[in-house]
Chains A and B, each alone.
Chain A
Amino acid sequence: GQQLNQSPQSMFIQEGEDVSMNCTSSSIFNTWLWYKQDPGEGPVLLIALYKAGELTSNGRLTAQFGITRKDSFLNISASIPSDVGIYFCAGQYTGTASKLTFGTGTRLQVTL
């Protein structure tokens, strides 16, 4: 099935650094979502974006819905060890199914 292009695939950063990751699609979405998945768990929703151009924050996390509706980015400021995990973007086109199309994931490792 279709997957969104997400980059980078993995990141090794030091505690306290800022992190940026992005997601692009060949088709438009009217909702962008960012999820975090810890080992052995299902994805947990971090931020939801509903409008093109929207910039939304959740604590140290900031995400933006691209103007073209084909991309989104997620920033994490001042990273801490518990930020370790895999981050997935997901696009959703509100329709009869509202199924999510997921990115390939960004694996984040934080070193002390």
Chain B
Amino acid sequence: GAGVSQSPSNKVTEKGKDVELRCDPISGHTALYWYRQSLGQGLEFLIYFQGNSAPDKSGLPSDRFSAERTGGSVSTLTIQRTQQEDSAVYLCASSPRAGPLAGGQETQYFGPGTRLLVL
């Protein structure tokens, strides 16, 4: 079946503008994650959604970052008033389940990412 998809694949914006990044998880996956990967670095956790529970926003670097997940499926990551240090690849992942009872169903499958460049 289809994997995780993200759009746009590339985004160039000017400093101070807002951007929206979209993630379509694998159908039926209840958990959705956003990560950020700066050039030459590993992935940094941003935010996590599990079903209808309140999202875990502990990784968001500032209040300029927010995310929504509508209907338990598609998610949008919004960055307001972008700064040059926001330039990175933003990766989305989904998993069938998550949490202490998931028992091996937590494997996260990643999308190809959105490459954001803030000029």
Contact = CB atoms under 8 A, between A and B. Distances in A.
* A and B associate: yes
Interface of A: 1, 3-4, 6, 31, 33, 35, 40-45, 48, 50, 88, 90, 92, 94-105
A41 B99 contact: no
B102 A98 contact: yes
A100 B106 CA distance: 10
Interface of B: 4, 31, 33, 35, 40-45, 48, 50, 56, 58-59, 91, 93, 95, 98-100, 102, 104, 106-113
Q: Is the interface of B mostly helix, strand, loop or mixed?
A: loop
A33 B45 CA distance: 15
A43 B43 contact: yes
B99 A45 contact: no
B98 A97 contact: yes
B110 A98 contact: no
A98 B106 contact: yes
Given A1-B59, A42-B112, A99 B45 contact: yes
A105 B89 CA distance: 15
Interface centre among B4, B31, B106 (most CB of A within 10 A): B106
A97 B41 contact: no
B37 to A, nearest CB: 9
A88 B42 contact: yes
22 contacts: A1-B44, A1-B45, A1-B59, A3-B42, A6-B42, A42-B4, A48-B104, A92-B106, A94-B100, A96-B56, A96-B99, A97-B50, A97-B58, A98-B31, A98-B48, A99-B59, A100-B43, A100-B45, A102-B35, A102-B42, A102-B43, A104-B42
